[in-house]
Amino acid sequence: MQNGKKNILFIVNPVSGIGSKDSFPHLVEKILDKSKFDYQIIYTKKAGHAIKLSEKAVKQAVDIVVAVGGDGTINEVAGGLIGTDVILGLVPGGSGNGLARHLNIPLHAEGALKLINSCHVSKIDTGIINGRPFVSLAGVGFDALVAKIFAKEPHRGFLTYFRIVAGRYQHYKPKHYSVVIDNREKIHKEALFITLANSNQFGYNTTIAPNAKLNDGMMDVCIVEKPTIFEMPLIINLLFLKMIHHSKYVNIYKAKEVKVFRDKNRTVNIDGEPMKLAKNLEAKVNPLSLNIIIP
């Protein structure tokens, strides 16, 4: 901090979401309160670049690192900040923007930058699964398959996401999982998907864990069985109405630690990005481990 000002690094993912990021530097210059902040803007060049930039920012004693992108970008930027004093800011620029929606952060850049000017900071939990951090959620099953296909699509957005879900759902066979909650409760289930939720949603306001809180030291383990195709309209409505926990196909458990045993090493969805981890998964909560600017 020089002259009493805080230093901000904006890490911009130019390919996230559906809108261009070309006007972003102009907006920062116009809206950011330069009596409080000095700033720098860096654009990421490839997957994995953002975490290196955020780790470097910590070493250089930057005060605030702002992720400009979607949940995958936030995951990378936060990965370098977890457990440090450096503050995370968000300018939503993805397609689903699940964490920003959960936190009621404005989805347009102007509003998000004004929020950064106010610099109201809170601590939130993060999760870790097989050594990989997550901020919003981690999951296996159908939603991980959708994330894998979605990542390869040239055009992002809700319609693309919905088209993949609609096209793959009917033929998807639920997989067998054994889940251990806090080394106590064992659950064996044929599930459509399992989501370990720190925040409440996938994005697009599809709320999978209506009672999830980002600061309670727990994750919501959402085990979802497969409804029939005829029941899907009701299930989709419940997701948007934040009432999915009332469905007979959904069981949600609170946990600090979770083990998930799978019969095959398939893709894992980590904050909307598909990843390959080991066949057996271990996840736990890292309580109040990330400083973040919120309304």
Same domain, 110 and 150: no
Q: Is the same domain home to 146 and 258?
A: yes
pLDDT 10s digits, 168-210: 999 999 999 999 999 999 999 999 999 999 999 998 999 999 9
Domain boundaries, position 233: 132-286
What lies within 8 Å, CB to CB, of 53 at 6+ separation is: 9, 11, 42, 44, 65, 77, 80
Residue found by looking up tokens 């950011």 in the block? 32
The arithmetic mean of pLDDT across residues 55-84, rounded, is 97
Residue recorded with tokens 């290196």:
52
- What sign results for the dihedral spanned by CA atoms 211, 218, 101, 38? positive
* Whether 111 and 233 share a structural domain: no
pLDDT at 1 over 60: no
Are 12 and 74 found together in one domain? yes
Do the Cβ atoms of 294 and 120 come closer than 8 Å?
yes
> DSSP readout, 9-39?
EEEE-TTSSSS--TTHHHHHHHHS-TTTEEE
* Residue 292 maps to a domain: no
> Packing angle between helix 142-151 and helix 158-169, nearest 10 degrees?
130
Q: What is the mean pLDDT of the chain?
A: 95
Considering the domain architecture, whether residues 201 and 89 belong to the same structural domain is answered as no
- Who's near 277: CB < 8 A, 6+ residues apart? 129, 130, 132, 265, 268
154 and 177 together in one domain: yes
Give the pLDDT confidence of 27-41 residue by residue, as tens digits: 999 999 999 999 999
**177 and 103 within one domain:** no
Residues 171 and 282 in one domain: yes
Q: What is the pLDDT of residue 15?
A: 87
Shared domain for 155 and 281, answered yes or no, is yes
Whether residue 214 is found in the same domain as residue 273 = yes
Residue 127 inside a domain? The answer is no
Q: Are residues 136 and 276 in the same domain?
A: yes
Confirm whether 1 is domain-assigned.
Answer: no
Identify whether residues 166 and 274 lie together within a single domain: yes
The CATH code of the domain that includes 253 is: 2.60.200.40
**Does 44 have pLDDT greater than 80?**
yes
Place of tokens 């901020």: 135
CATH number, domain of 17, equals 3.40.50.10330
Report whether pLDDT(253) > 90: yes
